[in-house]
Amino acid sequence: MAKEAGKQPSPLTVDESNAKSCYANFCRVTGSPEELIIDFGMNSQPMGSNDKPVEIQQRTVLNFYTAKRLLHALHVSIQRHEEVFGPIETDVQKRVKSTESSES
């Protein structure tokens, strides 16, 4: 019995043959006491008027255990990216270059 307790679990295999890829520039997180609901979509007017609704293209429902593992994996991935390429600025206004400073 002690010999089995020290055994490493066999690696998990993943079948990606039915995976579908989509692009999203919009994300909304809602939920309940049991799960998180994450909607992904395409905002075709991110800097313009908001007269066209954001089309939700993918909804993922996660329990909180899986959500926490996802949070950690995303944190590590973004941390590695920023170590190589520099900080990611999420505030669009801070990323927009002023035309006044480029004319001087």
Nearest CA-CA partner of 46 in 37, 36, 38, 54:
54
**pTM for the model:** 0.71
Q: How many CB atoms lie within 10 A of CB 41?
A: 19
The Cα 41–Cα 59 span in angstroms is 9
Beta bridge partner(s), residue 58: 40
Reading the chain (104 residues) residue by residue, the pLDDT tens digits are 555 667 788 889 999 999 999 999 999 999 999 999 999 999 888 776 778 889 999 999 999 999 999 999 999 999 999 999 999 998 888 888 766 655 55
The Cα 67–Cα 32 span in angstroms is 13
